[in-house]
């Protein structure tokens, strides 16, 4: 008797085709499929007890994220949905709104509901309680863009924020900037801590001091960027460049510069983070750190599917290296 755990990956392997081809087969999309490939998949599916897979509705996974208004989080949702389609899974979206209580309630509901697994991104500092709830319930999950190896989660995929912010700061220093302001989200968030460390490391490695008067920790929205940049301008502290923890904050800086008649990069150089559509649409186009969301999510969904299908995971902690996308918002100065 064939194993009841015969998976999409098994079917692709035995047929010598890609998982994407198997996904089209499952969804009865035969337009670009040869008759011989379809016949081979039919035979393998029936032989291994997978014959009914074409007829059943897609299974569900959930993605828990803080917000959907930030284009970075929207990118994550889009990437999760795209990758999940390959495995014939639907995606349920849960917005925590940066509230631990909302996260906890969502996790309780998802444990009770028939979701096969969860891609989980938190910006609160009490998420360990939710991880424990998921582990106790035996629910497959992958933690995204956090730094929690000590919690022994089933799988963790994150972008190297220390390196990303280090590269951004170093780029400004190499262009002659020595007084560099830093605008970030809430400092107690772990990924904020690591990005800030990258900023500090780059300054110290270049023999520059960290000026606490040029560092602002606030929130994640554009109005937070507006508020912080106005405070920096009113403080009379001298600086020639600003690094923002995300592109949304940076757009707040752009807005104030426009209101004050400051030219970018003539009067001020700016670097954002996440390389969202905002960085491309900004005038001038903004230099930003790319976290490679598609790679990060593909890795996360693959790890989640391995858990769901009881496949072994050799590396459960995956670190993705970000890169700096240079555009027109940085000026070289003497």
Q: What is the pLDDT of residues 93-149, one digit of tens each?
A: 999 887 888 888 999 999 998 799 999 987 666 566 788 888 889 999 999 977 655
Tens digits of residue pLDDT in 35-53: 899 889 888 988 887 754 4
Q: Tell me what pLDDT residue 119 has.
A: 96
Q: What are phi and psi of 143, to 5 degrees?
A: -90, 135
Tens digits of residue pLDDT in 243-270: 999 999 999 999 999 999 999 999 999 9
Q: Do 8-54 and 161-291 agree at the fold level? A: no
Per-chain mean pLDDT for the chain: 89
Check: CB of residue 308 under 8 Å from CB of residue 116.
yes
List, edge to edge, every strand of the sheet that includes 241-244.
215-217, 180-184, 241-244, 269-273, 287-290, 323-325
Q: Residue 145 region, left (φ>0) first, then alpha (ψ -120 to 50), else beta?
A: left
Q: Identify the CATH number of the domain defined by range 59-160+292-321.
A: 3.40.50.2300
Q: Tell me what pLDDT residue 55 has.
A: 45
| Helix (H/G/I), strand (E/B), else coil: 181 | strand
> How many degrees, rounded to 5, is the angle at CA 16 between CA 11 and CA 18?
75
Tens digits of residue pLDDT in 284-294: 999 999 999 99
Transcribe 62-96 into DSSP letters.
EEEES-SSSHHHHHHHHHHHHHHHHTTEEEEEEE-
Delimit the domains of the chain by residue range: 8-54, 59-160+292-321, 161-291
Q: Identify the CATH number of the domain defined by range 8-54.
A: 1.10.260
Tens digits of residue pLDDT in 169-219: 999 999 999 999 999 987 656 677 889 999 999 999 999 999 999 999 888
Alpha-carbon 288 to chain mean position: 15
Tens digits of residue pLDDT in 212-250: 999 998 888 899 999 999 999 999 899 999 999 999 999
Q: Tell me what pLDDT residue 126 has.
A: 55
Assigned fold of 161-291? Rossmann fold (3.40.50)
Alpha-helical (H) ranges within the chain are 8-15, 19-26, 35-47, 71-86, 100-112, 128-137, 161-174, 190-205, 222-235, 247-260, 277-281, 293-308
**Overall average pLDDT of the 316-324 stretch:** 94
Q: Tell me what pLDDT residue 113 has.
A: 86
């Amino acid at each position: 008797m064939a194993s009841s755990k015969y998976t999409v990956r098994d079917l692709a392997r035995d047929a010598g085709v890609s998982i994407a081809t198997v996904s089209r087969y499952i969804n009865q999309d035969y337009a670009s499929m040869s008759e011989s490939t379809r016949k081979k998949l039919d035979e393998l599916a029936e032989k291994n007890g997978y014959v009914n897979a074409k007829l059943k509705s897609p299974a569900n996974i959930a993605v828990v994220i803080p917000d959907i208004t930030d284009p970075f989080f929207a990118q994550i949702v889009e990437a999760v949905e795209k990758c999940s389609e390959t495995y014939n899974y639907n995606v349920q979206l849960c917005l925590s709104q940066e509230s631990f209580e909302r996260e906890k309630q969502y996790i309780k509901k998802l444990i009770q509901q028939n979701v096969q697994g969860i891609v989980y991104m938190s910006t609160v500092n009490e998420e360990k309680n939710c991880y424990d709830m998921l582990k106790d319930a035996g629910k497959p999950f992958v933690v995204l863009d956090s730094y929690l190896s000590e919690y022994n989660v089933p799988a963790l995929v994150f972008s190297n924020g220390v390196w990303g912010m280090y590269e951004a700061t170093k780029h400004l220093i190499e262009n002659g900037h020595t007084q560099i302001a830093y605008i970030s989200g809430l400092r107690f968030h772990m990924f904020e801590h690591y990005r800030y460390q990258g900023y500090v490391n780059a300054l110290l490695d270049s023999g520059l001091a960290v000026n606490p008067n040029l560092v602002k920790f606030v929130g994640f929205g554009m109005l937070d960027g507006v508020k912080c940049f106005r405070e920096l301008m009113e403080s009379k502290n001298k600086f020639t460049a600003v690094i923002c923890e995300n592109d949304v904050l940076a757009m707040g800086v752009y807005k104030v510069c426009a209101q004050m008649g400051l030219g970018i990069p003539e009067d001020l150089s700016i670097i954002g983070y996440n390389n969202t559509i905002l960085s491309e649409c900004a005038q001038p186009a903004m230099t930003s750190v790319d976290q490679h969301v598609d790679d990060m999510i593909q890795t996360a969904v693959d790890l989640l599917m391995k858990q769901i299908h009881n496949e072994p995971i050799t590396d459960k902690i995956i670190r993705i290296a970000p890169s700096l996308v240079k555009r027109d918002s940085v000026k070289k100065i003497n």
